[in-house]
């Protein structure tokens, strides 16, 4: 058993809460989630700050911060620091990463500089803990470029990077080297697909391998989702994922620049547009205004933000950009932090009804 901070939540909010806590990098991967009558106790890696608790309460209500004893998920020897304790000098064990992304059979990790010389051992330690993992990748750069990719180094395993990831009941063929995918967006993919109503036309402007588009199509009988991406590799995975998840009749995959495609073929088509390109979404508001039906619709607008009044500034930017394009924001129904991207920096989303 191991004592840890935890969140007590009603069982029925379990899936939602777990995804949110994962997206905030707070879920303790080594401890088993516990049950207490009608509640789940979700173990955390640290005590959340007041700001983070406020953020959690926006989506999960009721929620209570507590501490409890939890069973270890695996034998004690299989925590990362236990596996590596004979291999890495003990002062450096404190530098071991507390979190990493597991996408299908690939682990992606950021190796702290002071344990760089032990990266191979770290990768092998992870494979010991998760024997079904085939490759461990270490991040070598920030995400950059139009296709939103980063450089990786293979630090353990076979080196194969194509894999299949399960998220919210859908299966995604992915390759982090070739196309963007983040397991930290699972909650957001789910939230948006829950917001969609039957009968809607949706444009997913920056669809990647399809996690918004495909989940929307899986969940709703009568929808049409136009899923656009300009990265040919992402498009290939998107097509494969549409097939795998049997949503061919509802998702139209389109390879190309969202601006060109919407302004040529999808003018006034959408009840809803998803703009998950946080670095540059603002530059595409003109196109989104063209794609939304003349009677109005919802834009899910993502950006990176930090500092004080982050929502106030994002709202102003969005309002001005929409006005410039001859349309108006009737209301902003949601402002939320999607995930932490760096200390005090967030990916945020505004759900705006535009007319
Ligand atoms: N929505 C996906 C998800 O949740 O995993 C992927 C989001 S990723 C941050 C942004 C994607 O937009 C990348 O796959 C990139 O190739 C694509 N992209 C960038 N600029 C684009 C453009 N002008 N038109 C279409 N796709 C674009």
| Domain segments of the chain as ranges | 2-70, 80-161, 181-354
The predicted-structure confidence for 75-113, as pLDDT tens digits, reads as follows 544 788 889 988 999 899 999 998 899 999 999 999 999
Q: With contact defined as beta carbons under 8 Å apart, do 298 and 272 qualify?
A: yes
181-354 adopts what CATH topology? Rossmann fold (3.40.50)
Secondary structure (3-state) at 114: helix
Mean pLDDT, to the nearest integer, of 314-330? 95
Give the distance (Å) from ligand 1 centre to CA of residue 344.
24
DSSP 296: -
Residues whose CB is less than 8 angstroms from the CB of residue 46 and which lie 6 or more positions away in sequence, other chains included: 5, 26
Tell the residue nearest (CA) to atom 4 of ligand 1. 211
Residues whose CB is less than 8 angstroms from the CB of residue 204 and which lie 6 or more positions away in sequence, other chains included: 210, 212, 213, 216, 225, 226, 227, 228, 273, 274, 276
Tell the residue nearest (CA) to atom 25 of ligand 1. 229
Return the structure tokens found at 104: 């299908």
Identify the CATH assignment for 2-70 out of 3.90.1640.10, 1.10.8.620, 3.30.70.2580, 3.30.390.10: 3.30.70.2580
80-161 adopts what CATH topology? GMP Synthetase; Chain A, domain 3 (3.30.300)
The predicted-structure confidence for 265-313, as pLDDT tens digits, reads as follows 999 999 999 999 999 999 999 999 999 999 999 999 999 998 888 899 9
The predicted-structure confidence for 108-150, as pLDDT tens digits, reads as follows 999 999 999 999 999 999 999 999 999 999 999 999 999 999 9
Mean pLDDT (the chain) is: 94
Give the distance (Å) from ligand 1 centre to CA of residue 197.
23
Band of pLDDT at residue 74, cut at 50, 70 and 90: low
- C-alpha 39/C-alpha 16 separation (Å) is 14
Provide, rounded to the nearest whole percent, the portion of the chain with pLDDT above 70.
Answer: 99
Phi, psi of 351 (to 5 degrees): -100, 110
pLDDT at 224 over 60: yes
**pLDDT the model gives residue 76:** 46
Give residues (CB < 6 A) around ligand 1: 146-148, 180-181, 185, 206-208, 211-212, 228-231, 234, 257-259, 276-277
pLDDT at 215 over 60: yes
Q: With contact defined as beta carbons under 8 Å apart, do 125 and 80 qualify?
A: yes
């Amino acid at each position: 058993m191991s004592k840890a901070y935890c969140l007590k939540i009603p069982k029925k909010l379990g899936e939602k809460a777990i995804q949110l806590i994962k997206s905030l990098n707070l879920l303790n991967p080594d401890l088993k989630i516990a049950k207490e009558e009608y509640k789940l106790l979700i173990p955390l890696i640290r005590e959340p700050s007041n700001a983070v608790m406020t953020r959690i309460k926006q989506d999960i209500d009721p929620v209570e911060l507590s501490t409890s004893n939890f069973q270890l998920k695996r034998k004690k020897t299989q925590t990362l620091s236990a596996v590596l304790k004979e291999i890495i000098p003990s002062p450096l064990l404190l530098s071991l990463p507390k979190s990493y992304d597991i996408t299908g059979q690939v682990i992606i990790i950021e190796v702290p500089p002071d344990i760089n010389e032990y990266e191979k051992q770290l990768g092998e330690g992870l494979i010991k803990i998760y024997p079904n993992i085939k490759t461990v990748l270490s991040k070598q750069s920030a995400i950059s470029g139009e296709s939103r990719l980063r450089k990786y180094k293979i630090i353990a395993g076979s080196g194969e990077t194509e894999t299949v990831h399960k998220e919210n009941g859908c299966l995604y063929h992915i390759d982090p080297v070739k196309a963007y995918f983040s397991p930290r967006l699972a909650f957001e993919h789910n939230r948006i697909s829950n917001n969609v109503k039957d009968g809607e036309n949706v444009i997913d402007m920056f669809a990647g391998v399809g996690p918004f588009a495909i989940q929307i199509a899986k969940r709703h009988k009568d929808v049409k989702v136009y899923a656009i991406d300009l990265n040919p590799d992402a498009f290939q995975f998107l097509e494969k994922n549409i097939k795998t998840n049997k949503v061919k009749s509802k998702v139209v995959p389109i390879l190309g620049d969202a601006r060109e495609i919407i302004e040529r073929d999808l003018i006034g088509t959408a009840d809803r547009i998803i703009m998950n390109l946080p670095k540059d979404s603002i530059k595409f508001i003109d196109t989104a205004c063209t794609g939304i039906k003349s009677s109005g619709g919802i834009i899910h607008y993502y950006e990176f933000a930090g500092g004080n009044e982050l929502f106030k500034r994002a709202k102003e930017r969005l309002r001005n950009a929409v006005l410039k394009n001859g349309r108006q924001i009737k209301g902003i129904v949601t402002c939320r932090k999607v995930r932490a991207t760096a200390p005090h920096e967030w990916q945020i989303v505004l759900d705006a009804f535009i007319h």
